Amino acid sequence: MKSTQKTGPNSHKPQSNSNTKRIIAIAITAVVAVVLGVFVINSVVNQSSGEAVATVSGKEIKVDNPTTLLESPTGINKISDKIDLAVLSSRYPNVDKSNINATIDSLKSTYGDDYLKQAESLIGYPISNEQDIRDYLTLSLYTEELFKEFVPVSDEEIQAAYEKSYTEEVCARHILIEDEAQAQKVLDAIKAGTYTVEEVVAKQSIVGEGITIKEASDLSCFRKDKMVAEFADAAFALEKDTTTDSLVQSQFGYHIINVYDKKSYELTDELKAEITTDLQAAEKTRANYEKFMADLRSEAAIEFTNDEVKTAYDELMTKLTTPTE
């Protein structure tokens, strides 16, 4: 998989296409788990409040201040999520929700009074109260089950993906310069021992005047499929603690790459789960997933009691189900 990002100082880096609810929910859990390491579980709080804007099979969908919510570009996504939650709740009644309280408690402990704001930045739409977070995380669990049901991943597919992209990672720094002559001058200085890639990353000005560096950074560790082909091929061909002997040209300019670590991975259960998630989140499965979800929505008795919400919802559904190139 090649990056399709076209511009900007980080343009050689991949853009994430895993924008599913479950991915972000996992990210929320991971963030708070790393920060705290310990979860404190409280009782479930049911905050059924707000104004009813729709019903799903007779169950009211409520949000606070729907008119104000729709003023946000992503406000309708919140309403859509609550509708999908109602659509899927009867389909997956036995989903384990025990970690939801832990995640919310950890957000509170980590971010204090700002936990709603932090959750909003992670989720991507307005969050009014704790129940909004709880609903989002619950929907992520239902979505996970829906992916398992509708987009199963075979052991053979996991093995093939592992062998292609997941067996190893390299950890690298790089210098990116658009002008070839300038890039060659920097590489010559590195080969002469004037400075190292690491030193340039730390202080770009050491290359001197007359050289414009587009980016000099530590890229940390990455798989081969996460970078454009020219960059990836060169980086993975290097041994640990070595630097490219010649410039590496990509569509973004000329790279000087220094690999400072290489990691190999066995196909553990944890890695299998990661590969499964990545395969299911691929763009080609997103369209199929949205179609399947649309079928479930059409089977549910969704009725709107707010015309503004209905108009915004219909527009969103059109976008979600319209094929893209």
Give a yes or no: residue 293 inside a domain.
yes
Residue 58 CB neighbour total at 10 angstroms: 8
178 lies in the same domain as 114: no
Provide, rounded to the nearest whole percent, the portion of the chain with pLDDT above 90.
Answer: 63
260 lies in the same domain as 312: no
The band of 287, judged by pLDDT with boundaries at 50, 70 and 90, is low
Query: Of 86-90, 138-142, 278-282, where does mean pLDDT reach its minimum?
Result: 278-282
Flag whether pLDDT at 273 surpasses 90. no
* Residue 34 pLDDT: 38
32 lies in the same domain as 132: yes
The band of 284, judged by pLDDT with boundaries at 50, 70 and 90, is low
30 lies in the same domain as 144: yes
* Residue 29 pLDDT: 47
* Residue 66 pLDDT: 94
* Residue 323 pLDDT: 59
Query: Of 19-23, 135-139, 237-241, where does mean pLDDT reach its minimum?
Result: 19-23
**Which of 28, 7, 206 lies closest to 121 in space, CA to CA?**
28
195 lies in the same domain as 46: no
CATH code at position 251: 3.10.50.40
Flag whether pLDDT at 234 surpasses 70. yes
Q: Which residue has the higher pLDDT, 190 or 148?
A: 190
144 lies in the same domain as 288: yes
Q: What are residue 156's DSSP bridge partners?
A: none
Q: 195-226: string of b/e by CB count within 10 Å (b at 16+)?
A: bebeebbeeeeebeeebebbbbbebeebbbbb
Note the pLDDT tens digit of each residue in 4-38: 332 222 333 223 333 344 444 544 444 443 333 32
Give a yes or no: residue 3 inside a domain.
no
* Residue 285 pLDDT: 64
| Rounded mean pLDDT, 289-306 | 88
| Rounded mean pLDDT, 94-109 | 91
| Rounded mean pLDDT, 135-152 | 86
253 lies in the same domain as 298: no
* Residue 198 pLDDT: 97
Flag whether pLDDT at 274 surpasses 60. yes
Q: Helix 75-89 vs helix 307-321: angle between axes, to the nearest 10 degrees?
A: 80
Provide, rounded to the nearest whole percent, the portion of the chain with pLDDT above 70.
Answer: 82
* Residue 249 pLDDT: 96
| Rounded mean pLDDT, 297-310 | 94
The band of 308, judged by pLDDT with boundaries at 50, 70 and 90, is very high
Mean pLDDT of the chain: 83
| Rounded mean pLDDT, 105-121 | 91
| Rounded mean pLDDT, 290-304 | 88
The band of 117, judged by pLDDT with boundaries at 50, 70 and 90, is very high
How many independent structural domains does the chain possess?
2
Give a yes or no: residue 272 inside a domain.
no
Q: φ, ψ for residue 44 (rounded to 5)?
A: -70, 135
| Rounded mean pLDDT, 49-69 | 92
Range of 307's domain? 21-150+282-321
* Residue 48 pLDDT: 55
145 lies in the same domain as 290: yes
Pairwise CA distance, residues 317 & 297, whole Å:
10
The answer to whether residues 208 and 230 touch, using CB atoms and an 8 Å cutoff, is no
* Residue 153 pLDDT: 85
- Distance (Å) of CA 37 to CA 30, 33, 102, 103: 10, 5, 11, 11
185 lies in the same domain as 243: yes
Flag whether pLDDT at 44 surpasses 60. no
Flag whether pLDDT at 209 surpasses 50. yes
Flag whether pLDDT at 224 surpasses 60. yes
The answer to whether residues 309 and 79 touch, using CB atoms and an 8 Å cutoff, is yes
